[in-house]
């Protein structure tokens, strides 16, 4: 499914802002250095301000147009430097053009030259530092993607690279190949299945983030089939090729080290924005826990003195790509709620695998208030701190619910689950049909942006304050 134009424009905007800050510092450093040699000739004037005001939007547009406002996983340092060298050459030419078009006669050519050199190396060093930081975290098991590799004898060097460079953040879970050489080389350490295996079953059963087709010979009909199966549940598909491949998906060229891959992806693809989302949500959650700790303590006391059972309700849920974890909530039901659920199944008002009863007899008096205001969800902030959940995202389902999902429902598991999303802020949300609920979550994934997350966060706060979420 194609992405909206707005999200394409929004790609990597946050990281570009940091690079603009580096550029501004480079500009003043270039002026300072040239000014040392001749203070009268390089006297600061309003023309320097005009040039800087021209540079800022120009650099911002160039960084995104040339895809430099992205942190690559597997590019070589030389390749990154060449990209920035091309960028600096274009910027160098534009500055000379601006100088003559706008009549900035007092703006020195020497400042343009020194700025171009300083900006080139400062942006490159900044990128390498961030690149190394991200590689360090991936090498230590953070943000690791599980992949299935379609391989033949020509794929050995690619597989070796993935296994050697843990900092790239990929883990080969399964190899699909009929090659005896591949089976002999990797059979002892990686699961290997023949090409006739049903990839659909593997995607449904295992926790798979990407499927990579690294065979030398390409079967176009099979490619279409694989792309459709991956798209349906939000799994990224990569094809080792630089040849154009016609499909209605969102297609872009990416690299594993210097090996080109055509990438088909219909989930949020702005890795920097997603990283920024995780970073900010971690600290927002920490601050909220700190500020609301007295209220959380009061809620804990009320739960304890009004009903028997634990204060915190812990339940297994399904997260990103089927990863299971325990969700935390303030207990809003009687202690034996799970046992009573089986007796109440006949009263289920949900039209799908979810279980909903408008007047659930298992809910306590305090629990009713907590659910109406959404305060029962506060302990999930600790799930956000642990990296299992986001503040904003589709709600994590129960394993039993996932077992009953239609295949297209699985795409809501292609992003990290959240405490709140579009469905949670709808008045009388329990009356929303299950299929519409699923469609709301898929729409959130398709239209995701940081701006939308901020809007949903504030609307959730409004829902809590007015108690309209029941």
What is the reported pLDDT for 220? 80
What is the reported pLDDT for 138? 59
What is the reported pLDDT for 136? 66
Nearest to 295 by CA among 410, 379, 419: 379
Q: Is the pLDDT of residue 133 over 60?
A: yes
Percent of the chain with pLDDT over 90: 28
Q: How far is CA 302 from the centre of its chain?
A: 38
Sorting pLDDT into bands at 50, 70 and 90, what band is 316?
Answer: very high
What is the reported pLDDT for 317? 94
79: Cβ contacts below 8 Å, ≥ 6 apart: 258
DSSP run (H or E) holding 181:
helix 180-186
Nearest to 413 by CA among 326, 325, 319, 275: 319
Sorting pLDDT into bands at 50, 70 and 90, what band is 397?
Answer: very high
Q: Is the pLDDT of residue 8 over 60?
A: no
Contact status, residue 233 vs residue 210, Cβ threshold 8 Å: no
Question: For 410-450, what is each residue's pLDDT tens digit?
Answer: 889 988 999 988 877 776 666 778 888 888 899 888 888 88
Q: Tell me how far apart the alpha carbons of residues 119 and 84 are, in angstroms, rounded to a whole number.
A: 10
Q: How far is CA 12 from the centre of its chain?
A: 12
Q: Is the pLDDT of residue 117 over 80?
A: yes
Question: For 216-245, what is each residue's pLDDT tens digit?
Answer: 888 788 888 888 888 888 898 998 876 655
Other CB atoms within a 10 A radius of the CB of residue 246 amount to 7
Sorting pLDDT into bands at 50, 70 and 90, what band is 9?
Answer: very low
**Helix ranges (DSSP H) in 102-171:** 109-139, 156-164
Sorting pLDDT into bands at 50, 70 and 90, what band is 301?
Answer: very high
What is the reported pLDDT for 95? 94
What is the reported pLDDT for 436? 86
* Residue 59 backbone phi and psi in degrees, to 5: -65, -40
Q: Is the pLDDT of residue 340 over 50?
A: yes
85: Cβ contacts below 8 Å, ≥ 6 apart: 120
What is the reported pLDDT for 343? 72
Q: How far is CA 416 from the centre of its chain?
A: 8
> Where on the phi/psi map is residue 306: left (φ > 0), alpha (ψ -120 to 50), or beta?
alpha
Answer with the residue of higher pLDDT: 41 or 186: 186
Contact status, residue 317 vs residue 325, Cβ threshold 8 Å: yes
105-111, Cβ contacts within 8 angstroms, sequence gap of 24 or more: 105/47, 106/43, 106/45, 106/47, 107/45, 107/47, 107/48, 107/51, 108/34, 108/41, 108/42, 110/34, 110/42, 111/30, 111/31, 111/34, 111/42, 111/48
Q: Tell me how far apart the alpha carbons of residues 273 and 14 are, in angstroms, rounded to a whole number.
A: 7
Average pLDDT over residues 360-370: 87
What is the reported pLDDT for 329? 93
Sorting pLDDT into bands at 50, 70 and 90, what band is 105?
Answer: confident
Sorting pLDDT into bands at 50, 70 and 90, what band is 467?
Answer: low
Contact status, residue 457 vs residue 421, Cβ threshold 8 Å: no
Contact status, residue 215 vs residue 222, Cβ threshold 8 Å: no
What is the reported pLDDT for 98? 92
What is the reported pLDDT for 396? 93
What is the reported pLDDT for 300? 93
Q: Is the pLDDT of residue 126 over 80?
A: yes
Q: Is the pLDDT of residue 73 over 70?
A: no
What is the reported pLDDT for 459? 86
Q: Is the pLDDT of residue 92 over 80?
A: yes
DSSP run (H or E) holding 252:
strand 251-256
Q: Which residue is listed with tokens 């250095």?
A: 33
Domains and CATH numbers, the chain: 5-139 (no CATH), 145-264 (3.40.50.150), 271-466 (no CATH)
* Residue 146 backbone phi and psi in degrees, to 5: -85, 130
**Range of lowest pLDDT (7-11, 16-20, 112-116, 436-440):** 7-11
Other CB atoms within a 10 A radius of the CB of residue 143 amount to 15
What is the reported pLDDT for 114? 92
399: Cβ contacts below 8 Å, ≥ 6 apart: 316, 317, 318, 324
464-467, Cβ contacts within 8 angstroms, sequence gap of 24 or more: 464/373, 464/374, 464/375, 467/372, 467/373
Q: Which residue is listed with tokens 């060298």?
A: 85
DSSP string, 182-244: HHHHHTTTSEEE-TTS-HHHHHHHS--SEEEE--SS--HHHHHHHHHHHHHHT-EEEES--S-
Other CB atoms within a 10 A radius of the CB of residue 431 amount to 10
Task: Look at residue 84 and give its three-state secondary structure.
Answer: helix
Sorting pLDDT into bands at 50, 70 and 90, what band is 387?
Answer: confident
Q: Which residue is listed with tokens 């990154």?
A: 80
237, with CB counted inside 10 A (0-12, 13-18, 19+), is buried
Q: Is the pLDDT of residue 140 over 60?
A: no
According to the per-residue pLDDT averaged within each range, which of 111-115, 137-141, 219-223 is highest?
A: 111-115
Q: Is the pLDDT of residue 63 over 50?
A: yes
Percent of the chain with pLDDT over 70: 84
Q: Tell me how far apart the alpha carbons of residues 464 and 166 are, in angstroms, rounded to a whole number.
A: 43
427-433, Cβ contacts within 8 angstroms, sequence gap of 24 or more: 427/468, 427/469, 428/470, 429/469, 429/470, 430/349, 430/350, 430/356, 430/358, 430/470, 433/351, 433/352
What is the reported pLDDT for 223? 83
């Amino acid at each position: 499914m194609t992405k909206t134009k707005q999200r394409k424009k929004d790609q990597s905007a946050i990281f570009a802002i940091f690079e603009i800050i580096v550029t501004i510092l480079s500009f003043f450093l270039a002026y300072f250095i040239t000014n040392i040699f001749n203070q009268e000739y390089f006297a600061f004037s309003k023309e320097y301000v005009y040039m800087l005001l021209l540079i800022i939007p120009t650099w911002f547009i160039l960084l995104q147009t040339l895809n430099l406002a992205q942190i690559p996983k597997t590019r070589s340092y030389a390749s990154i430097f060449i990209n920035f060298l091309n960028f600096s050459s274009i910027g160098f030419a534009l500055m000379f053009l601006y100088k003559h078009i706008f009549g900035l006669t007092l703006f020195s050519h020497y400042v343009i030259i020194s700025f171009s050199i300083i900006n080139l190396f400062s942006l490159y060093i900044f990128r390498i530092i961030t690149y190394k930081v991200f590689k360090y975290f991936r090498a230590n098991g953070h943000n690791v993607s599980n992949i299935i590799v379609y391989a033949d004898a020509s794929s050995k060097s690619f597989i070796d690279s993935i296994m050697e460079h843990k900092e790239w953040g990929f883990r080969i879970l399964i190899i699909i190949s009929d090659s005896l050489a591949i089976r002999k080389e990797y059979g002892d350490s990686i699961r290997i299945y023949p090409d006739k295996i049903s990839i659909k079953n593997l995607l449904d059963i295992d926790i798979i983030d990407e499927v990579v087709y690294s065979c030398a010979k390409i079967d176009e009909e099979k490619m279409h089939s694989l792309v459709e199966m991956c798209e349906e549940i939000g799994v990224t598909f990569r094809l080792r090729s630089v040849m154009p491949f016609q499909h209605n998906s969102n297609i872009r060229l990416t690299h594993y080290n210097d090996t080109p891959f055509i990438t088909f992806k219909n989930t949020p693809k702005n890795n920097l924005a997603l990283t920024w989302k995780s970073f900010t949500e971690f600290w927002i959650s920490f601050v909220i826990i700190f500020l609301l700790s007295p209220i959380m303590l009061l809620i804990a006391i009320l739960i304890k003195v009004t009903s028997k059972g634990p204060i915190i309700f812990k339940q297994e849920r399904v997260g990103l790509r089927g990863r299971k974890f325990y969700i935390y909530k303030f207990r809003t039901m009687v202690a034996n709620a799970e046992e009573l659920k089986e007796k109440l199944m006949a009263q289920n008002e949900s039209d799908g695998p979810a279980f909903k009863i408008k007047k659930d007899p298992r809910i306590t008096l305090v629990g009713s208030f907590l659910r109406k205001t959404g305060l029962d969800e506060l302990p999930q902030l600790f799930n956000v701190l642990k990296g299992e959940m986001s503040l904003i995202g589709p709600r994590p389902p129960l394993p039993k619910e996932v077992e009953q999902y239609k295949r297209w429902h699985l795409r809501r598991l292609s992003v990290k689950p959240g405490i709140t999303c579009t469905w949670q802020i709808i008045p009388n949300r329990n009356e929303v049909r299950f299929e519409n609920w699923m469609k709301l979550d898929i729409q959130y994934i398709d239209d995701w942006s940081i701006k939308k997350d901020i809007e949903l966060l504030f609307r959730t706060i409004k829902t809590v304050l007015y108690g309209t979420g029941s």
